[in-house]
Each structure stands twice: as C-alpha cells, then as structure tokens.
Amino acid sequence: MVGEVRYARSGDVHIAYRVFGEGPRDLVLIPGTLSHAELYWELPINQYLLKRFTSFARVIVFDKRGQGLSDRVGEQTLEERIGDVRAVMDAAGSAHATIFGWSEGGSMSLMFSATYPERTSTLVLCGSFASMAAEPWAVSRAQWDKFIGLVETRWGQGVLVPFNAPSRRDDQAFMQWFGRLERASASPGAILTLMRANYDIDVRHVLPAIQAPTLILHRVGDKTVPVEAGRYLAQNIRGAKYVELPGDDHLLQAYDQTTLELLIDEIEEFITGSRSGPEPDRVLVTVMFTDIVSSTERAAAIGDRRWRELLEGYLAAARRQLERLRGREIDVAGDGLFAIFDGPARAVRCACAIRDAVRQLGLEIRAGLHTGECEMAGSKVSGIAVHTGARISAAAQPQEVLPSGTVRDLDAGSGIRFDDRGSHVLKGVPGDWRLFAVTSA
C-alpha cells in the first residue's frame, strides 16, 4: 500500500499525488474540503478504502492546489482545479479513469467530466452538490459567513467534526486526528479563501453535459449536505444511478463499517459489473481489554456528572498510553476499552501503564490480554482471539493485568515478570487456559 509522493506540474503549480495498486482500471479520488497526501491516508478507515479500491483498480490520490503537500496558492478558479486533475492523470500515465469526488470534490468531478469526457470512463459522486447557494441546499451568505467565522477562530482543533460527523464529536482520538489534519492541510487564511470561493461555485448548468455513466451516493440523513442535493444531481444527470445510504454523518471517515461496505460495494459493482465484498486479513495481534472495577456502584455513589468526568479522565489517560506504546484503539463500550498491538510486550506495558495512571484518579481497573490470529476488516477486528481476551479480562482481579499463557511465552526475554494464576475455564471459549498475572513490567 506504499505509494511514493510525486509532483505533477500544472502551469506554475506543483500538485502532490500518489498512486496505489496496479489494478486493470484507474480510479482518481477527488477529496472534499481537506486533503494531505500522507497524513490523510494513515487513518485506518482510509487505508481500508485503499485496500478495497486497489482490489479492482489502480488508485490515484492528490492534494488540491493550496492544500496538503501541493504548492500553496492564493485565490483559484474551478478551471485551474480541473486542470490540476488532468495534470495528475498525465503524470500518472492515466489516459482515462473513473472520477470519484465526494463533498466539495463533487463540483470538480462534474466539471472535469463535462470538460474532458474522453478522459472520464465513469463518474462517482458521494455527498455532493451542484450549488451551495441555490435550491435545494440554499445556504444564505450570512449563514455561510457566520460558519466560516467560527472555522477561523477554531481552525486546527477539529472544528469541522461537529458539523460533518456529529457522531464523532465526543471521540477525543478522532477529534485530535482531525485537528491535526486541519492544521496540515491548510492555514486558516487559505481555508477561508477556499470556503469563500466554494460558496460562489455553481455547476448546475454543467449537469446536462455529463456523458459518462454516473453513480450518485448520498446518506439519507446527511447533516451537512441535505439528501435533496443528491437527488437533484440524479434528476438532472441523464441516466444517473442514484443510491441512498443510511446514516447522518457527512464525513466519509465517520461512516460505520456496514455503510462503508455498502458504499464500496456499490462503487465496485458500478465500475466492474460485480461486487466481490471484503476479504478480511488474518493477522497475529495482541488484544487488550480494560474496564473499571465496580463501575456501576461507583457511578451510583458519586452521581452522573462526576462519573462522566472520571470516565473521560480514564479514557484520556488510556489513550495517552496507547499513543505512547503504539496501540490501536478499536472500541469503547461504557467503561470498557478494547485495543490491539502488534507486539505482546508493548501491550502488557500499556495495560500496566494505564492501571498506574488511573490510580491517580482514584480508579481501579482490570485488564486481560491474549495473542492470536484475528480477522481485520477496516476498523473491525474479530475472531476467537478477541473473545478470549475479553473473557480473560473478566477473570482478572482488581488492579490485575492478566495475560494468557500465549502472551507470557511470547514475552520471554522481555524482562516482564509473571506470577502463575493457574488453569481457568473461560466462558464460551473451549479448553483450559493457563493465566499469568504481571508482577513487574
């Protein structure tokens, strides 16, 4: 999945791009408001998108002028932007491709398709619109000016998340990543220039000129771009296929796994004529489960507000240790945290570090760890190893970090010390399991 960053020359501007895979057809991705040719594709859900797309296409990604790794510029026209798409395709050796634009990238995709029909094999739009100012979206200039004023004061803090992905606004790790993406993609002045220009873009007159087979996808409860905008595109592009997806989040990176699979399947079938579905990777990982001891009783004793504060402190401390020891957070359910590691020693040390850190909050946790083969499908991790780790966690005593014998064996030579806790029967997991408590990490 490694694609070297290269630069295409578009007039006097250098456009950063990358090429992934060697599929039989080309797929050019035109991003929404933000892009960064390196950072953007580090997020697991984006890596999963690439993995699925490269199973049936060669994927070309790029940073729009003024953003990411491309040259910083001032004001720019839509004509210049589509010239950048052509320059990237030329540099990548792509004679014609599927053009896939989402959100703000939709207007570029529409304009490119109409201007260069010979370079557009198919057109795919997701969460897109023809005009921001006109019906059916019809955002007033006063509303837009108020919004971009807020963007200016909070740029780099994940300011776009509450609007584009309300389901992730309380996800601290996601907010931090998105804030970093905002800062890396553009300065406040550059993003305001772009947003003001976007308000005036209107490609409604282009729609009848679209010749390429077109697929339009839109979430039915989209909180940013109303679904009527997607329906308008479908009604005014001759022969367009229109698919409504469930959900409210506009941001592609906030899609739940089920909806993401629907989106990819629809695109694959539209481009290739069939859908293969995901092929999960099976990889060896160490799973870690932690939860707070006597959480129900503690919450009842101190009240909901204080309990929420403690829970936030616990998760913040846990995420700091995950970042330090290269763990990957998979899920949070109440006070239960599920994470994975590519090394068992770091997993053990992370569990111990979380236990020690939250002690300062007056909390006690238990942790269970197991190493085994898991199925990886995007942000989803599954398999018997996951169930085993969860059952081991339930068997741990307060303040105990309890790995399986597999973890203990793999940590030989690490300097970590263990105390044998004997053989256990884990509910729903076949066989007897030898468990070991960590005494020194």
Apex CA 185: angle with CA 180 and CA 189, to 5°? 105
Residue with tokens 């020359």: 9
Angle between helices 344-359 and 304-324 in degrees, nearest 10: 150
| Helix, strand, or coil (residue 259) | helix
Q: How far is CA 179 from CA 35, 39, 155, 248, 328, in A?
A: 12, 12, 8, 21, 18
Instruction: Round to the nearest angstrom and report the end-to-end CA distance of the chain.
Output: 35
- Residue 4 has a CB neighbour count (10 Å cut-off) of 7
Q: Which candidate, 407, 413, 429, places its Cα nearest to that of 421? A: 407
DSSP 118-163: GGEEEEEEES--SBSSSTTT---HHHHHHHHHHHHHHTTTTTTHHH
Per-block average pLDDT, block size 10, for the chain (441 residues)?
89 96 95 92 86 94 95 87 96 97 95 95 97 93 94 94 89 86 93 89 94 97 95 97 95 87 94 73 87 91 90 94 92 92 91 95 95 83 93 96 92 87 90 93 83
CATH number of 6-272: 3.40.50.1820
CB 319 within 8 A of CB 173: yes
Tokens of 388: 């085993």
Tokens of 371: 């190493």
Peptide bond into 246 cis (omega under 30): no
**pLDDT at res. 280:** 58
**pLDDT at res. 1:** 56
**CATH number for domain 281-440, candidates 1.20.140.10, 3.30.70.1230, 3.40.50.1170, 3.10.100.10:** 3.30.70.1230
Q: How far apart are CA 297 and CA 302, in angstroms?
A: 9
CB 424 within 8 A of CB 433: yes
Side-chain-side CA neighbours of 89 within 13 Å: the count stands at 24
380-418 b/e (C-beta count within 10 Å ≥ 16 → b): bbebebbbbbbbbbebbeeebbbbbbbbbebbeeeebeb
Side-chain-side CA neighbours of 430 within 13 Å: the count stands at 1
**pLDDT at res. 412:** 78
Q: How far is CA 391 from CA 52, 260, 305, 402, 429, in A?
A: 32, 30, 30, 11, 8
Q: How far apart are CA 3 and CA 70, in angstroms?
A: 16
**pLDDT at res. 277:** 62
Q: What is the dihedral of CA 154, 158, 160, 161, to 10 degrees?
A: -140
Question: Would you list the domain boundaries of the chain?
Answer: 6-272, 281-440
